[in-house]
Structure 1
Amino acid sequence: MGFLRTLFWIAITVVVVVFSLHNWTSVTLDLFGGLAADAKLPVLLLIAFLLGFVPLYIYHRVQRWRYQRRMIDPARIPPVPAPPPAFEPTIPPEPF
């Protein structure tokens, strides 16, 4: 299974490198106040990807940590309530 995972990451890396080499062009960004910035297209795509990925990844890791902490810590498990008393029908006394 580790071999397939490594092969997958190598294939992804090759695709990204080939994409970057074919699209290595300068892009002009118009910023506020009449400023302009030149950046390479693959760098902008990487920054955009990370801006979307990193906050969600951090949220996922925090939630996973909370759930694991809840499952491990027995003090946080609420006690099981006692069962209600069994119903015992009462027989009314016989009238005289």
Structure 2
Amino acid sequence: MQFVRTILWVLLLVGILAFSFGNWDKQIDVRIWPGIVWDTRVPALVVVSFLFGLVPMWLYHRGVHWRQSRRISALETATTKMTSPKTEARPAAPVRPENSERNRPPEPSNPVEPEPTPKS
């Protein structure tokens, strides 16, 4: 694909050069504003006009390409995070000291005395 693109740019350059050599002797007046006239040659006018049309569209194309590549990479990242196995460590159980007041079972409010066992 790069080869075809290079051929097209070379053909465009050859066409502009052929046009420039054929029309270099012709000079025209371009009125920019009333009172401002630009004396230029035809090939310069053609090249400047071509660039005025090409550069904004090229910048727009590069911006769209950049935005789409960012979207695609964000979606790929999200997809890999969704499909990767969960390897998150589980939180450790809190350590409870044995002689802590909170860990002791509550004592009954009315302790019952055990009955003595009869001796035989």
Q: TM-score range by the shorter chain?
A: 0.5 to 0.7
Unaligned runs of 5+ in 1: 80-96
Q: 1:18-69: CA deviations, max 9, x gaps?
A: 1111111211112324232201111111111111111111111111111111
Classify 1:67/1:44 alpha carbon distance in 2 versus 1 (closer, same or farther; 3 Å): same
* Structure possessing the higher radius of gyration over alpha carbons: 2
Rate the CA distance shift 1:52–1:34 in 2: closer, same or farther, 3 A: same
State the identity as a percent: 36
Distance 1:35 1:50, change over 3 A: same
User: TM-score by structure 2 length?
Assistant: 0.52
Query: TM-score under structure 1 normalisation?
Result: 0.63
Letter in 1 for 2:55: V
**Structure richer in helix, relative to its length:** 1
**How many residues are paired up?**
77
Structure 1 residues 54, 28: closer, same or farther in 2, change over 3 A? same
Partner of 2:50: 49
Q: Deviations over 1:56-89 (max 9, x none)?
A: 11111111111111111225xxx8xxxxxxxxxx
